[in-house]
Amino acid sequence: MCQPAASFKIAGRVVRGPDNRPAKRARVIIATVDHADRQISCLTGDKGEFSFAGLPPAKYTLQVNDHGGSQLFLQTDEFSTAIAVGPDLDSEHIVFPLDAPARITGSVLDEEGDPVAGAAVYLFVRSLLRGLVQTQLSTEASTGVDGDFHFTHLTPGTYYVAATGHPWYAQNFQPMHRMHPDQPVPRSESRSELDLAYPLVYYDGGSTPEAATPLKLEEGANAEVHFTLRAVPAVHIAADGFQKQEGQQPILQLFHTGPGGTLISVASGPDSGVAPGTYVVSSSLIGQNQSSTLGSQLVSLTADSTVHLDEAVRTSVKGKVILDGDMPPSMGIWLANLSNGNQVTSLLTHDGTFDISDIPPGRYALLLANASDLYMQSVKVKGGVYRNGELLVAKGAEIQLTITAVKGVTQVNGRVVNGTTPIAGAMVLLFPHDPSHGNYIPRDQSDSDGTFTLSWALPGRYTLVAIDNGRGLAYGDPAVIAPYLQGGQVLDLPLAKDARVEIEVQSRR
């Protein structure tokens, strides 16, 4: 006689912090970790309760959608805790605490106090990215007809807000992006009085990132900010200093340099001018059959100006990946700016070459992309500096990389404990003793049974660390992580086949 397969249950309550009020009518969604597309859901009851019965043993993601927002169980950054279901595992007494989202709302008005519709509002966040404090563009929005904007479902952190737009009544008669040497710079004496533009303005009234007022938001905070845009005489830009081919024209794109060095594209329709200021001008030649990047330059525009494209500086990173065997499909090179988190990916050609023809100067982490079982065994550099996994890209550099990729990526499976008790929701980190292969730190978060998997670990010696609360921890800062390393566990990878480790959890300092 065949016995039916055992079935189990996931059950618990969804509550709102910090007073643990029941979250009524929230949608709870589960799916097995291996089949995230096979979801089942239910709505919470009056006490925030939910229940899923008849489940086979597996690990399940647990997600709550509520008032337009979505949150995973014990979510920290992109990591969360899965629910382990099976014999001798308690999966029926879950308390799911919903974070109270923060909000930034406000308005953009002109100097007459009228709303500016269609204004662009940029939100920057200073937060942790891969364990380092970085400032990057979080999102952007456009104002409605009433000039209002809303940024919702924000996590706690430090934010900066900037706004700009285009006066609806402006008559900007010189198309900036169509200018070429055959078109003279417009004469200021023939300018329309309505040839106007709005500068980019930061909250609270600053015109540069350094003058921006930070908004420090706690969980559940609501901040209200307002902008007044004051129109100024627009300036226009022409281009020369290039070899014009038939059917080609120069395309100029202007950028503001925002907080953290993030570049903000300046919208420029065919009849728009721009406000005076300092811009990064990126230029290229576009034709029917080909296009080419000329480079970029920093330009201070105080009046109608001509940009000399032969003065543009092109900063490039090119190279080749050498691999013994077939090149995986969609394999590429991944560069991440260590100051603002901006990322650049270049796919490899069939022979392993890549070309990033115009990249902002800075410090970059360098990794292989879309190659789960490969790592960079060696990196040879001409025209730049590569040290401890960081590529230093100087302005105007023409960097040539030769990367040898080999197989050998492994993983670490284990369990976080406090004595003999498994610990859920712990941050698990693997720190390499030898940084020559890069500064990537494998990371995971322990599931409800305390288990974890650290993927994409390279051969070598590491220190394994588990911390009970990793939210907001700058683990990429050596000074911050040093005390935890002293209590960590040294591992030599790869481990023996099917080996599992137990790591004692450390309290957050």
Helix/strand/coil percent split, the chain, to 5: 5, 50, 45
Q: In what order do the strands lie in the sheet with 489-493?
A: 443-445, 427-432, 460-467, 489-493
Domain boundary among 49, 75, 98: 98
Q: 302 and 154, same structural domain?
A: yes
| 311, 344, 363 - which closes a domain | 311
Same domain, 18 and 90: yes
Structural domain boundaries, residue 33: 8-98
Domain termination residue (choose one: 292, 311, 330) = 311
Spell 196-223 as b/e; 16+ CB within 10 A means b: bbbbbbbbeeeeebeebebbebeeeeeb
pLDDT digits (tens, 9 = 90+) for 202-233: 999 999 999 999 999 998 999 999 999 999 99
**φ, ψ (nearest 5 deg) of residue 130:** 55, 40
State residue 229's pLDDT score: 97
- Same domain for 33 and 163, yes or no, is no
In this structure, is residue 509 part of a structural domain?
no
Residues 173 and 229 in one domain: yes
Total domain count for the chain? 4
State yes or no: pLDDT of 357 exceeds 80.
yes
Whether the upstream peptide bond of residue 18 has omega within 30° of 0, thus cis, is: yes
Q: What is the mean pLDDT of residues 162-183?
A: 69
Give domain status of residue 1, yes or no: no
Both 485 and 417 in a single domain?
A: yes
330 and 378 belong to one structural domain: yes
Same domain, 368 and 423: no
Mean pLDDT confidence for 165-192: 62
Name the pTM for this structure. 0.85
Residue among 149, 396, 132, 120 at smallest CA distance from 258: 120
26 domain residue, yes or no: yes
Same domain, 20 and 43: yes
Residue identified by tokens 């404090």 is: 133
At 270 the pLDDT is: 45
Closest CA to 320 of 356, 346, 351: 351
Least confident of 276-280, 282-286, 348-352, 404-408: 282-286
Percent share of the chain, pLDDT over 90 = 63
Please determine, for residue 256, whether its predicted confidence score (pLDDT) is greater than 70.
yes
Q: What CA–CA distance (Å, rounded) separates 329 from 19?
A: 50
Q: Is residue 18 part of a domain?
A: yes
Q: What is the mean pLDDT of residues 153-175?
A: 87
Average pLDDT of 237-241?
83
Distant-in-sequence, close-in-space partners of 170: CB < 8 Å, separation ≥ 6: 194, 195, 196, 197, 231, 234, 272, 273
On whether both 302 and 259 belong to a single domain, the answer is: yes
Residue 2 lies in a domain: no
Same domain for 63 and 129: no
- Clarify whether residues 427 and 325 are in a common domain: no
- CATH number, domain containing residue 452: 2.60.40.1120
- pLDDT value at residue 290: 66
Convert the pLDDT of each residue in 75-118 to its tens digit. 998 999 999 999 999 999 999 999 999 999 999 999 999 999 99
pLDDT band at 21 (very low <50, low <70, confident <90, very high): very high
Residue 160 lies in a domain: yes
Which CATH number fits the domain that encloses residue 17? 2.60.40.10
Q: How confident is the model at residue 178 (pLDDT cuts 50, 70, 90)?
A: very low
pLDDT band at 174 (very low <50, low <70, confident <90, very high): low
Question: What's the mean pLDDT when you consider all of the chain?
Answer: 89
Higher-confidence position of 92 and 176? 92
Distance CA 178, CA 239 (A): 9
Classify residue 309 by its DSSP letter.
Answer: G
Q: Is residue 361 part of a domain?
A: yes
One domain for residues 436 and 299: no
Has residue 3 been placed in a domain?
no
